[in-house]
């Protein structure tokens, strides 16, 4: 699954650590999601969508 997390985070001027703190996860988790090495759980994906105030489908999408 691909995502726009790095782009959205950058647009707000947040570091990975800042985003991780807001989501209550590790910076390594944020990095793994951004690089596609880890797909977040559904609750975490919804938390990310709420934080950026966009529908979940505008952040995460199929890689095909």
> pLDDT tens digits, residue range 9-50?
999 999 999 999 999 999 999 999 999 999 999 999 999 999
Give the residue extent of every domain in the chain: 2-52
29-to-48, 58, 64 alpha-carbon distances in Å? 13, 20, 23
The CATH H-level superfamily of 2-52 is lambda repressor-like DNA-binding domains (1.10.260.40)
pLDDT at 4: 97
Burial class (CB in 10 A: 0-12, 13-18, 19+), 40: buried
């Amino acid at each position: 699954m691909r995502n726009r997390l790095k782009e959205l985070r950058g647009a707000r001027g947040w570091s990975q650590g800042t985003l991780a703190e807001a989501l209550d996860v590790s910076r390594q988790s944020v990095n793994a999601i951004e690089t596609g090495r880890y797909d977040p759980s559904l609750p975490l994906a919804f938390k990310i969508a709420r934080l950026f105030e966009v529908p979940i489908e505008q952040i995460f999408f199929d890689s095909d």
